[in-house]
Amino acid sequence: MLRHDIPIFLRRYTDYDTANSIEARKYLKTYGLTPPAVESHDQQAARCMAILDAKPSPIEKYRYLSVLRNSNANIFYRLLSANVKELTPLIYTPTVGEACQKWSELYTFPEGMYLSYSDKGHLHSVIQNWPHEVEITVVTDGSRILGLGDLGINGMGIPVGKLSLYTACAGIHPKKTLPLCLDLGTGNEELRNDPLYMGSRRPKVTPDEEREFLDEMMSALTERWPSIVIQYEDFKNPFPSLERYQNTYTMFNDDIQGTGAVILAGFINAVKQSGTPAKDQRAVFLGAGSAGVGVAKQIVQFFINEGLTEDQARRCFWLVDSQGLVAHDRGKLADHKLYFARDDNEGKQYKSLEEVVEYVKPTILMGLSTIGGAFTPQILEKMATMNERPVVFPLSNPSSKSECTFEDAIKYTKGKCLFASGSPFPTLHHDGKDLVPGQGNNMYVFPGIGMGAILSKSVSVTQNMIYASAEALSTALLPEEVSPNWLYPAIGRIRDVSVIVTRGVIRAAQRDKVDRELALRNIGDEELDQYIRERMYDPFKEGERVENEIAELVGRPASSTGKEAGANGAAGAGQPQQPRVKAVSDAVPLEGKPTLLREVTGYTGSGASDGTPSGR
């Protein structure tokens, strides 16, 4: 089998990398198909960043990065890993929101898998078309994308972006991730009438129809990949599926559990820094949807761990929705709101956030409402008047829907607030200091939750595993991050943070006895951290691994990364003669070797001509 017979999408991980040595290019049969220079990683990054900087808008930068991810995943992840703070807002929130709105308009190449309602009854066979082994999938039905509503299959941008962060932050190999979008119709009539919309034009299926479809999908996924971790994302009503599947499959919902965990971690650190003990905290939540209730329930567990009873902990919360304070005597409430509904309002209905703040006198103000500017100057000033260190968390995405900006929070609380947001805000100079806003981004926890479930081979993702991710994150601050009152670690340390979170999740899986990788129970934390790091995909070392494997196969000494040829890597006048590289037919057969080449391309050396990856 010639390398040219391998489908192009199986070759993107290594084959066309301009950092590949001449020997590697000849072996991979890509010699002459890329420019002759053998580049360093720094040269590659400099070119990519220059191209990126020249793009006039965030959406154009997003499109360039998408092309890069699909043409050479190693270069893309090198760039992302080295510039995670700068590039995350371009590949995920807030830019991914615009990308989803324009997904059908901007569509260029396939990414991920689409399962349509018309495939019901045949999902097992459709899923067999995916060419790789999969460790984790992110699945959405597009019915509630960020704060943008029902976008149908245009919501595919969310699984694609999310899984890029699983790879960049926790080192899950990109080939072992599956972006999955369900085409179950859409209630968005404008989309159904859009001639460019690429999904089905039927109305959204009923809840019963969706439940039957999801039952079949979950069965099909786990039949194909028994240890797969399944993360649900951006479903309009996420609670039923979480309750239905969380104890049967290795699944979790990031909107509910991931959001709750990352905010809990920031909250734990904010409580420590505020000086107000847990029993005296009063939290007002603007937003009583799935995210708001999920966050509040996570914090309830923290209060219980701090010595409160469950009832005492629950009564520290006042939730506000579009009709005002959530109270039992207000009228019929959605089931998920009942747990926090107040019964002590003495018949009075508080219709606005301002009224609730005046009534409760909260120490904590959290926003998950997607109502931009809802934390008005008057409310922020009131928080500063009532508290020495008010906790202000405007958590809605994207930035345009954040309840307040970092600048306004600092300005109207006179720099007193402990702040974390869902969207990124710039550093602010105030009172002679540079203040860094905390961003309660789920990327601090969901990569570690996924990696922890994968490495422990857990049969489910328990609530204790989710809580452990938050607790681990809260301990990840360095001393130099604690002193300026940061609530979250520097995002540039995300890989180190993910190791800590992954370890916490694995230990919780062991305590709950849902782990199947029993050998990990017998090693200490330091050894476990090393185990985690060794299993992380590292785009900076992929080229070296390929080089060393090729060296073994062709019988020459292994080199570092093959960069010794430098900028003039092609052999020619004045250049050292390159070592002879055997033809593929002369090489040591790949059968029986646990090789990276087989892992990343499916090539077995067996002479198969259909391009089918091994391990199908």
Task: Return d(Cα 222, Cα 232) in angstroms, integer.
Answer: 15
Among residues 419, 443, 467, which one ends one of the domains?
Answer: 443
Q: Are residues 194 and 303 in the same domain?
A: no
Cis bond before residue 398 (omega within 30° of 0): yes
Q: Do 218 and 264 fall into the same domain?
A: no
Which residues are known binding-site members for a divalent metal cation?
233-234, 255
Are 15 and 162 within one domain? no
Q: What range defines the domain where residue 221 resides?
A: 44-236
Same domain, 23 and 49: no
- Residue 569: what are its φ and ψ, rounded to 5°? -65, -30
Partners of 138 in the beta sheet? 179, 231
Give the list of residues 6+ apart from residue 569 with CB closer than 8 angstroms, or none.
21, 22, 36, 37, 38
- Measured in residues, the chain has a length of 616
* CATH code of the domain containing 83: 3.40.50.10380
Q: How many CB atoms lie within 10 A of CB 96?
A: 27
Q: Is residue 516 part of a domain?
A: no
Residue ranges of the binding site for (S)-malate: 144, 397, 441
Burial class (CB in 10 A: 0-12, 13-18, 19+), 134: buried
One domain for residues 57 and 110: yes
Backbone angles phi, psi at 477, to 5 degrees: -70, 135
Read off the pLDDT band of 555 (50, 70, 90).
low
As annotated, the binding site includes: 144, 233-234, 255, 397, 441
- Identify the band that residue 565 occupies on the pLDDT scale cut at 50, 70 and 90: very low
Contact by Cβ (8 Å): 459, 516: yes
Q: What pLDDT is attached to residue 444?
A: 97
Predicted confidence at residue 559, as pLDDT, reads: 52
Q: Of 396, 418, 443, which residue is a domain's last? A: 443
| Catalytic annotation present for 593 | no
Tens-digit pLDDT profile for residues 114-139:
999 999 999 999 999 999 999 999 99
Q: What is the pLDDT of residues 453-466, one digit of tens each?
A: 999 999 999 999 99
Q: Could you tell me if 197 and 60 lie in one domain?
A: yes
- Give the β-pairing of 229-232 and 283-286: unpaired
The residue from 206, 236, 266 where one domain ends is 236
> Which one of 92, 232, 249, 488 is the catalytic residue?
92
Query: Sorting pLDDT into bands at 50, 70 and 90, what band is 402?
Result: very high
Q: Same structural domain for residues 191 and 282? A: no
* 206 shares a domain with 329: no
Looking at the fold, whether 399 and 375 belong to one and the same domain comes out as yes
Give the active site residue among 16, 61, 62, 162.
162
The whole-angstrom separation of Cα 271 and Cα 418 is: 9
User: Are the beta carbons of 505 and 261 closer than 8 angstroms?
Assistant: no
Instruction: Calculate the average pLDDT of the chain.
Output: 87
Distances 106 to 66, 75, 110, 469 between C-alpha atoms, Å: 11, 22, 12, 36
411 among known catalytic residues: no
CATH of the domain at 262: 3.40.50.720
Indicate if 272 and 374 belong to the same structural domain: yes
Q: What is the number of structural domains in the chain?
A: 3
Q: What is the pLDDT of residue 13?
A: 53
- State pTM to two decimals: 0.83
* Distance in angstroms (rounded) separating the CA atoms of residues 147 and 424: 16
Dist CA 184 CA 206 (whole Å) = 9
Question: Over 50: is that where the pLDDT of 613 sits?
Answer: no
Q: Are residues 100 and 174 in the same domain?
A: yes
Amino acid found at 540: F
pLDDT digits (tens, 9 = 90+) for 196-214: 999 999 999 999 999 999 9
Amino acid at 414: K
DSSP state of 436: P
CA distance 498 to 172: 11
| Domain-located, residue 460 | no
Please indicate, yes or no, whether residues 107 and 202 belong to a single structural domain of this protein.
yes
